[in-house]
Structure 1
Amino acid sequence: MAKQTWDAVDAYFSERLVGHDPALEAAAAAAEAAGLPPIAVAPNQGKLLHLLALTLGARRVLEVGTLGGYSAIWLARALPADGTLITLEIDPARAAVARANLARAGLEKVAEVRLGPAADALAALVAGGAEPFDLVFIDADKPSNPEYFARALELTAPGSLIVVDNVVRGGAVADPDSTDPAVVATRRLHDLIAAEPRVSATSVQTVGSKGYDGFTLARVQR
């Protein structure tokens, strides 16, 4: 019964506050047709990312984990015409779907899908002296999140935001005895954040069409 209620509430808010969006709906349909797993952010969550980027006045956004490009569309739409979104994806099939979805949404000049392991792409950005990103959204393989967060710190500046998705793990994050690699890494991530003086952070539990989960929001300190 609870899950039915969560779904209904998400649908209500999405209908009222997100509305009909052909490009986003086409992106979701293309991802489903390509057999991609149904793990993209929900519409209301995508709009939250969009509003965060707008509130920051973001010009440069980095996304770790592209999937079919659904969240990338939300983020890229928040950028000015000369803004930049770099999104990292390891799977060629997913990257192809994302590129097509971004082009259909008219965002191919703003958004770039980089193919390959995220750890390598992040290291290359650091080594190349990339201009700092205003917002980093981490939504990829969970065991690597501590490394992704550490790299994100190297690629941001005071005032930037780092958002890490799927951190509640159905409540398992509170279990110190868990042997699930995703849970172990998520706990290690938060140990790193708690000990990191360069950020101020919080985590929020959520329920909705994606089930019971949540995200961590960290602001790089001035």
Structure 2
Amino acid sequence: MNPSHTWNLVDQYITEHLIPHDPILEQVLSNNREAELPAQDVSASQGKLLQLFIRMKNAKRILEIGTLGGYSTIWMASALPADGSLVTIEHNPHHAKVAQSNISLAQLENLVEFRIGNALEQLAQLDAEQTEPFDLIFIDADKPNNPGYLKWALRFSRPGTVIIGDNVIRNGEIINENSVDPSVNGVKEFYTLLSQESRISATAIQTVGSKGYDGFVIGIVN
């Protein structure tokens, strides 16, 4: 059997057994397809994983860099307490409009704050506003800027803050020394910074499934 076909079937098995059907999340994915957004949402099992991290951390403040259509945003925001908050940053106005509609569908508007524009500029604005530290930060935007996002994430952290980076295996291309792909090289620099940064202890997990061969970096600020 083709390995990728097996990965898809196993992902379906996991979803059927461990993730209750949620018509709102299904509608969100449908809305994203109809709006012709890139099919880059996390999988259901990955969304559930993010939700579990938030619950394990008892997180009340979340920063998401890269909203897309809000699918991962909904997974995370739904794990927050009533007095929690999630700040999400999206560069593309069309994506942000779809995401805002999806957040409203999920009735989570009171927990989610949108920042629309260049992520590095929006992060600088948050800093200018003297934002409080976050409990969990999810980095899932353009990969060439991952090193910059990590530097901001550390600035917005305190001891115990969890930092998660998505799409950090790139189908194994991170070990290709000759890669000229800006996304691959951005992720490789992300790893280099993590290896040199004493403020965070991190590891990476390779994943296979409906999203192909990729993975997460997961770290905790010391």
Cα deviation for residue 100 of structure 1 reads: 0.7
2:30 equivalent to 1:29: yes
Q: Which runs of 4+ in 1 moved over 3 A?
A: none
Q: Which residue of the partner structure matches residue 46 of structure 2?
A: 45
Deviations 1:18-55 (A, max 9, x none): 12101111110000000001110000000000000111
Deviation at 1:105, TM superposition (A): 0.5
Asked whether 1:173 is paired with 2:201, we answer: no
Please state whether the residue corresponding to 1:204 is helix, strand or coil: strand
Counterpart position of 2:149: 148
Give 1:118 deviation, angstroms. 0.5
1:123 aligns with 2:124: yes
Asked whether the 8 Å contact 1:98–1:113 carries over to 2, the reply is no
Q: Secondary structure at the match of 2:206?
A: strand
Q: Distance in 1 between matches of 2:12 and 2:113?
A: 30
Identify the residue that residue 217 of structure 1 maps to in structure 2. Answer: 218
Tell me how far apart the structure 1 counterparts of residues 121 and 17 of structure 2 sit (CA, whole Å).
41
1:177 deviates by 2.0
Deviation of the 1:96 alpha carbon: 0.8
Following the alignment from structure 1 to structure 2, what is the Cα–Cα distance between the partners of residues 120 and 86?
A: 14
Instruction: Tell me the CA shift for residue 156 of structure 1.
Output: 1.0
Letter matched to residue 32 of structure 1: R
State the TM-score, normalizing by the size of structure 2: 0.98
Say which is worse superposed, 171-180 or 21-30, in terms of deviation: 171-180
Query: Within 2, Cα distance between the matches of 1:127 and 1:189?
Result: 24
Over aligned residue pairs, what C-alpha RMSD do you find? 0.7
Q: Which runs of 5+ in 1 are unaligned?
A: none
* TM-score (ref. length: structure 1): 0.98
Amino acid at match of 1:118: A
Name the residue aligned to 2:21: 20
Q: Which runs of 5+ in 2 are unaligned?
A: none
In the alignment, which residue of structure 1 is the partner of 2:139? 138
Q: Give CA-to-partner distance per residue, 1:146-177, whole Å, 9 cap, x none.
A: 00010000001100100000000110101222
Distance 1:113 1:18 in 2: 27
Query: Residues 170-213 of structure 1: CA distance to partner in whole angstroms, max 9, x if unpaired?
Result: 10101222111111111111110000000000011110000000
Distance across 2 between alignment mates of 1:32 and 1:50: 23
In the aligned structure 2, how far is the partner of 1:201 from the partner of 1:32? 34
**Identity across aligned pairs (percent)?**
49
